[in-house]
Amino acid sequence: MDSQASALFPKLPCPPFHHVPGVSNFRDIGGYPVSPPGRGSVRRRFIYRSALPTRITPAGCEVLVSDLKIRVIYDFRSHLEIEKEPPKPVPGAVRYHIPVFPTTDLSPEKLAQRLEAYMSERGPSGFVYAYSEILRSGNPAYRTVLEHVRDRPQEPFLVHCTSGKDRTGVFVALLLRLAGVKDLNMVANEYQLTEMGLGSLVETVTEGLLKDGKIGSDREGVKRLLSAKAENLKASMEWLDQTYGGVEEYLKTVLKFNDEDIRKIKANLIAEDEEAIFNK
């Protein structure tokens, strides 16, 4: 890998990150303690998250399939994003395209609303607006992946969007909280790891968006758009609790899971005999 590529895809601390050549922000979501204390932790080596893997190298494919045993990849990107940057086949893994926002939801007006919310100076409230839209639109995409957790607990998988920050970040927060990670600060800090995971890629994307010109020339606004601050995710989860009465009620109300579904999903997210590795 050349020096430019090495800067875009640096080696990061493992756990939770894994070095998959050609893929940014790749990490295992497991290792967080669940309640009650002593019950265990979120399973490791089962669910992985990342930015888009369209630049994955042959060596990266080998890590994905042979080392991490990933056989399924879930892509949350829209149809327009797929057209702009088509997926790259990963031999030995099956990819499912399950857009959180279908093409019809990516009209210029809708896109502008989302970007304005991200880029505003309103702090977390802009992200709460944007993430509440993700939560409302997450069905059937989120349901599909949760069905995998429920029905295929022995099949490790990867979930991603473009940066692995927003659609993926909200979904992973749901998983962690459903598993029993009660400390919302811990869930929010896992989300914030994306800033480390993306690294210098953020600056590259910033320059591309500014050059494109479709969202203006507000550099600080673009940086807010690409940020992954813990307080943004925390405020969004608090909104979910106030709106739906908690994650389990969200699964029942929006994703239409029943109590037995939820019991199975929770059980398959937890390793009772595995010691937590993230306790802060």
Please give the backbone phi and psi of residue 74, each rounded to the nearest 5 degrees, phi first. -105, 125
The half-sphere exposure of 253 on its side-chain side, counting CA atoms within 13 A, is: 13
Least confident range of 27-31, 163-167, 206-210: 206-210
Average pLDDT, integer, range 10-21: 85
Output the six-digit token pair for 172: 């992973």
Q: Which domains does the chain have, with CATH numbers?
A: 14-271 (3.90.190.10)
Helix or strand run (H / E) with residue 239: helix 230-244
Contacts of 93 (CB under 8 A, 6+ apart): 64, 65, 70, 71, 72, 73, 158
Percent of the chain residues past pLDDT 90, beyond the cut? 61
Provide the whole-model pTM.
0.90
Contacts of 132 (CB under 8 A, 6+ apart): 236, 239, 240, 243
What is the model's pLDDT at position 108?
A: 44
Question: To 10 degrees, what angle do helices 124-137 and 230-244 make?
Answer: 50
What is the model's pLDDT at position 216?
A: 64
What is the model's pLDDT at position 198?
A: 86
The chain-wide mean pLDDT, for the chain, equals 87
Task: List, for residues 108-149, the tens digit of each pLDDT value.
Answer: 445 555 666 666 766 788 889 889 989 988 788 999 999 999
Output the six-digit token pair for 70: 């990933």
- Whether the per-residue pLDDT at 220 is higher than 90: the answer is no
Average pLDDT, integer, range 167-179: 97
- Whether the per-residue pLDDT at 105 is higher than 50: the answer is no
Residue reference for tokens 């998983």 = 175
What is the model's pLDDT at position 109?
A: 45
Average pLDDT, integer, range 163-173: 94
Of 277, 193, 209, give the one whose Cα is nearest residue 24: 193
Task: List, for residues 224-271, the tens digit of each pLDDT value.
Answer: 777 889 999 999 999 999 999 999 999 999 999 999 999 999 999 999
Instruction: For residue 274, name the pLDDT band (cuts at 50, 70, 90).
Output: confident
User: Which is higher by pLDDT, 19 or 214?
Assistant: 19
Contacts of 83 (CB under 8 A, 6+ apart): none
What is the model's pLDDT at position 117?
A: 67
Task: List, for residues 38-85, the tens digit of each pLDDT value.
Answer: 789 999 999 999 999 999 999 999 999 999 999 999 999 988 888 888
SS3 154: coil
User: Which is higher by pLDDT, 119 or 277?
Assistant: 277
What is the model's pLDDT at position 4?
A: 47
